C-alpha cells in the first residue's frame, strides 16, 4: 500500500478520499516508516492547507489529528514535537486564509469554482455564534476552512480574529491529538480505528445537519404562515 493524497482530477476521487480518511492511520503509519522525519512536514502541510486554502476543505482534519495522537502512542511520531508544529500550521493557515479573504475575497467569490453554498453556510454560522464562531468552526468540517476566509471577506477586526484564531487552533489540535494519544492505545479502539474515524466525522457534521434541518423547518413554517395569511 502506498501513501498519496487523492487528486481532485482522479476519476475515482470520492472513493479515494473516503479510503484515505477511513484508513488515514494506516497511510500515515506507512509514510512514517518509509520516510521518517518527513512525516512532520507532510502533517504540517495537510493541516496548513485545510485551514489556509478555501479550495481544500475536503482534506481531513479531526480524524488526522486523532490518528496522529494514536501513532504518537506507538512511538512513530513524537507527541512533544507534533502538537506545537500542528498548532502553528493551524494558526498560520487560518491567518493566511483571513488575509486572502480580506484582500482577494471579492474576486474569489465570483469565480465559477468557488463553493458559494459553503460560504452561505459559514455566514449563517457566524450570524448564530458571532466572533466565537472562529473557535467553534475548528470542530466543523468545511466551515473550518471557510470561517477565516469569511472573517477576512467581512473585514472582521484582525486583532479580534487573531485572538479567536489562536485559542481555536490550540484547543482543536490539543484536544484531538491528546484524545488519540490516550484512547488510541486502548486495544478495542486501536483495533477499530476505522469506526472511530466514522464516528468523528458523523459527530463533526451534526451541527451542519441540524442547521440545514432547522432552516428547512423555518422555511416551511414561513411558507405555511404566508399561505394562511393570504
Segments forming the whole domain that contains residue 59: 13-229
Model confidence band, residue 124 (pLDDT cutoffs 50, 70, 90):
confident
Environment class of 76 (CB within 10 Å of its CB; exposed 0-12, middle 13-18, buried 19+)? middle
The answer to whether residue 1 is domain-embedded is no
Instruction: Tell me the average pLDDT across 208-230.
Output: 69
Environment class of 33 (CB within 10 Å of its CB; exposed 0-12, middle 13-18, buried 19+)? exposed
- Percent of the chain scoring above 90 in pLDDT: 31
Instruction: Tell me the average pLDDT across 154-161.
Output: 90
The answer to whether residue 138 is domain-embedded is yes
pLDDT at residue 11 in the model: 46
For the cut 90, the answer to whether the pLDDT of residue 26 exceeds it is no
Instruction: Tell me the average pLDDT across 16-33.
Output: 76
The answer to whether residue 122 is domain-embedded is yes
Pairwise pLDDT comparison (70 vs 221), residue with the higher score: 70
The answer to whether residue 23 is domain-embedded is yes
Number of domains in the chain: 1
Region of residue 36 (phi > 0: left; psi between -120 and 50: alpha; otherwise: beta): left
The answer to whether residue 115 is domain-embedded is yes
Provide the whole-model pTM.
0.76
CA neighbor of 100 nearest in space, from 58, 151, 169, 140: 151
Amino acid at each position: 500500500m502506498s501513501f498519496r493524497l487523492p487528486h481532485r482530477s482522479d476519476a475515482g476521487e470520492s472513493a479515494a478520499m473516503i479510503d484515505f480518511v477511513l484508513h488515514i492511520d494506516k497511510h500515515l503509519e506507512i509514510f512514517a516508516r518509509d520516510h521518517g522525519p518527513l512525516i512532520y512536514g507532510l502533517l504540517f502541510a495537510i493541516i496548513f492547507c485545510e485551514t489556509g486554502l478555501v479550495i481544500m476543505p475536503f482534506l481531513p482534519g479531526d480524524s488526522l489529528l486523532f490518528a496522529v495522537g494514536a501513532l504518537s502512542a506507538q512511538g512513530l511520531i513524537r507527541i512533544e514535537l507534533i502538537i506545537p508544529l500542528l498548532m502553528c500550521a493551524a494558526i498560520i493557515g487560518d491567518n493566511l486564509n483571513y488575509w486572502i479573504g480580506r484582500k482577494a475575497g471579492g474576486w474569489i467569490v465570483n469565480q465559477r469554482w468557488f463553493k458559494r453554498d459553503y460560504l452561505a453556510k459559514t455566514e449563517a454560522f457566524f450570524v448564530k455564534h458571532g466572533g466565537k464562531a472562529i473557535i467553534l468552526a475548528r470542530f466543523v468540517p468545511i466551515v473550518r476552512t471557510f470561517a477565516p476566509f469569511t472573517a477576512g471577506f467581512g473585514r472582521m477586526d484582525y486583532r479580534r480574529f487573531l485572538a479567536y484564531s489562536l485559542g481555536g487552533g490550540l484547543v482543536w489540535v490539543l484536544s484531538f491529538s491528546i484524545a488519540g494519544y490516550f484512547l488510541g492505545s486502548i486495544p478495542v479502539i486501536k483495533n477499530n480505528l476505522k469506526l472511530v474515524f466514522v464516528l468523528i466525522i458523523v459527530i463533526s457534521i451534526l451541527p451542519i445537519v441540524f442547521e440545514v434541518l432547522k432552516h428547512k423547518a423555518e422555511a416551511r413554517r414561513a411558507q405555511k404562515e404566508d399561505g394562511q395569511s393570504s
